[in-house]
A and B are shown apart, each in its own frame.
Chain A
Amino acid sequence: MWVYGESRDGQPTPVTLELVSQASASGDATVVFLGAGAAGAAAVAGEYGAAHALVDENPVYDQYLALPAVDALASLVAARQPDLLLFATTYDSRDVASRLAARLGCGVVSNATGIEAVDGGYRVLTPWGSETVAVCEVTGGGTAIVLARPKAFTATHTGGSCAVEQFTGQPGAGAQAVQIVETVEEVAEGPSLADAKVVVSGGRGLGKPENFTLIEELADLLGGATGATRAVVDAGWRPYAEQVGQTGVTVKPDVYLAWGISGAIQHLAGMKNAKAIVAVNRDPDAPLLRNADLGVVGDALKILPQLIDEVKRRRNG
């Protein structure tokens, strides 16, 4: 089983390590890293179970979108024919996976939350709606491509090391078609949303963007991160980096506090594995209340300031 690794500042992303650990559970895992810092990232992946790493540090992978990586992977996969190539369900990986699948004619399963090795093949689990999980297989032979959801698997530090093989990907001239002219990072303060122990999120029920100062204040007091729904991100109230859900960040905090969030299935996909959920919603039928460990039917704008005061009082008392 192979994993397409994503790295940032020379470190594998958390989801990459989750995939590496999962892949190594069912045999020899090979991870591919492309671009600056690839070798360093490979070494870390070794500590999480990768047996082999294929690395190419050519900066071209960081300067042009997707296409150089597709060229590199296409020749690697054609030559070495892994059974299965795992990608993370992120926009960057998806760009590469979709083109690679079309180029090589691979079968694809996306949004996977489970993989089981069965005699001679793999079974892949993927959610269909809130009530059903489909058990799939990829037919027809060749390399299968599976895109897995972040936090579906656990990264396990084994302290091992991997054999690192340098290769030269030789992206074609056409691979430089989409130039990355500028990369802008909007750095958020506080703990990273994906790793925070406490996440305080707000939805459209908060009424207006100004009310998110209450969300920020509570998150700050609890040492947590702020989150949001796609409805408020789309409305421009909050940055995309705060979006929790199927098309945003997946979180698994000790406590997730949801204020004025209905609990659409796409939002639940990103937070329902929190250890505990507290939800406040005016509507007793809001789906999120059914998923909460503590659900409160009430006005978020009334309770939020009270809770902020209460937390301060207990902290100081």
Chain B
Amino acid sequence: MRIVVCVKQVPDPNAGVARIDPGTKRLVRDGVPNILDPGVEVALEAALQLAEAGGDNTVTALAMGPESATEALRRALAMGAHEAALVTDPGLAGSDTLGTARALAAAIKQVGFDLVVCATESTDGYSGMVPGMVAELLGVPHLSFIRQLSATGDAITAQRVTAHGYQTLRCALPALVAIASGSHEPRYPALRGIMAAKRKQIATYDLAALGLGAADAGEAGARERVLALQPAEQRSAGAVIEDDGTAAARIADFLQQRGVL
């Protein structure tokens, strides 16, 4: 089975508040530490477990982003992905979700696939739109918010989290699955994996190689235009007290004032 995992590089969420460039109205990615999206690590783990469960399987990590996104791909290789590919082109800057999906889908077709694995939503953009769009463009079904996944022959069975419990889904391959956060514990890359990852070749694709034009992706193809940025409404600060043994009574007073006690 050929598994392609869509991996995204994101600004490190633990490195402070993400900044937006007021001029370009885009997320500032330069000069901030970037990492492999923690949600993608979970998805990659699910893909690796599926690949290790038996059969002749390959896992390819695929990223769209600037040249520096190779670092995220190296991390994916170090975790155990067999191959890696990068979609990169100056014309892709400013892509909206559909532009991103077009680029990824075109690359996935070239790599070849039976199963595509994504995270449910990215840590920086969190639109959650890309997986369904990629699946539609590939003409395959997609199974979202999956916490458990198994393959038998050319079909998969998956457990999908719902607002009230879960669903069991069945689907024939080829297909795309989006993995739920927290559903798998990502492995820590071993030193041997890190060393081997450094030596691996990373295939790259630009827009021309994917047969895409300027209107398909990038700023020129983007349909969502940001007109202005406004400050978000903030809650007005209340009282902060230090617990000196009376905090429980103070909270009870507050609950009574608010009429819920």
| Residue positions of A touching B, CB distance < 8 A | 65-67, 70, 90-92, 94-95, 97-99, 101-103, 105-111, 123, 125, 127-140, 144, 177-187, 197-198, 222-224, 230, 233-236, 240-241, 246-247, 249, 254-255, 257, 266, 272, 275-278, 280, 284, 289-299, 302-303, 306-307, 309-311, 314-315
| Complex partner residue of A133 from B131, B230, B247, CB under 8 angstroms | B230
Residues of A within 8 A of B169 (CB): 65, 178-181
Task: Determine whether B60 belongs to the interface, using a CB cutoff of 8 Å to chain A.
Answer: no
Q: Does B223 contact A (CB under 8 A)?
A: yes
Bound Cα distance from A133 to B233, whole angstroms = 9
Write the nearest CB–CB distance from A291 to chain B, whole angstroms: 5
| With A135-B226, A310-B249, A311-B261: A186-B133 Cβ-Cβ less than 8 Å | no
Tell me the B residues contacting A by CB distance below 8 Å: 17-18, 20, 25, 96-98, 101, 120-121, 126-137, 140-145, 157, 160-172, 175, 181-182, 223-232, 235, 237-243, 247-252, 254-256, 258-261
Chain A residues lying within 8 Å of B160, measured Cβ to Cβ, are 65
Chain B contacts for A101, CB-based, 8 A:
97-98, 129, 133
Q: What is the minimal beta-carbon distance from A84 to any residue of chain B, in angstroms?
A: 13
Q: Given the interface contacts A108-B98, A181-B170, A246-B126, does A130 sit within 8 Å of B232 by beta carbon?
A: yes
B144: A residues at CB distance < 8 A: 66, 91, 94-95
Contact in complex: A95, B228 (CB < 8 Å): no
Of all chain A residues, the one with the shortest Cβ separation from B232 is A133
The docked-state distance in angstroms from the alpha carbon of A136 to that of B163 is 29
Instruction: Report the minimal beta-carbon distance from B225 to chain A, rounded to whole angstroms.
Output: 5
Q: Please, which residue of chain A has its CB at the minimum distance from the CB of B27?
A: A128
B248 touches A110 (CB 8 A): no
Is the beta-carbon distance between A186 and B142 smaller than 8 angstroms?
no
Chain B residues whose CB sits within 8 angstroms of the CB of A123 once the complex forms: 227
| Contact pick for A278, options B135, B161, B254, CB 8 Å | B254
Nearest residue (CB) in B for A67 is: B141
A307 near B260: Cβ-Cβ < 8 Å: no
When distances are taken between beta carbons in the complex, the residues of chain B under 8 Å from A139 are 223-225
Main secondary structure on B side of the interface with A: mixed
Q: A222-B261, A276-B258, A299-B243 are in contact. Are A132 and B232 (CB under 8 A)?
A: yes
Residues of A within 8 A of B131 (CB): 98
Assess the B121–A247 pair: CB atoms within 8 A.
yes
Residues in A with CB closer than 8 Å to B161 are: 91, 240
CB distance from A277 to the nearest CB of B (A): 8
Residues in A whose Cβ lies below 8 Å from that of B240: 284, 289, 292, 295-297
A-B CB contact pairs (8 Å), 13 listed: A66-B142, A91-B145, A101-B97, A108-B97, A108-B127, A135-B228, A136-B225, A240-B161, A291-B237, A295-B238, A297-B243, A298-B247, A314-B261
Q: Which of B141, B165, B247 is the one whose CB lies under 8 Å from A178? A: B141
Q: Are A133 and B229 in contact (CB under 8 A)?
A: yes
Query: Are B223 and A298 in contact (CB-based, < 8 A)?
Result: no
Q: CB within 8 A of B182: which of A187, A233, A254, A284?
A: A233
Are B136 and A179 in contact, with the CB atoms below 8 A?
no
Docked pose: A132 CA to B17 CA in angstroms: 11
Q: Give the residue of A180, A186, A247, A249 whose beta carbon is less than 8 angstroms from that of B165.
A: A186
**How many angstroms from the CA of A140 to the CA of B222 in the assembled complex?**
9
Known: A129-B20, A181-B169, A295-B241. 7 other contacts (CB 8 A): A95-B132, A98-B129, A111-B126, A184-B166, A254-B260, A280-B243, A295-B238
A106 to B252, CA, bound (A): 51
For B137, list chain A residues within 8 Å (CB). 102
C-alpha gap A135/B231 in the complex (Å): 11
Q: Give the top 7 A-B pairs by smallest Cβ distance, nearest first.
A: A234-B182, A107-B223, A98-B132, A298-B243, A306-B248, A293-B238, A102-B136
User: Nearest A residue to B157 by beta-carbon distance?
Assistant: A181
Contact status B252-A91, CB under 8 Å: no
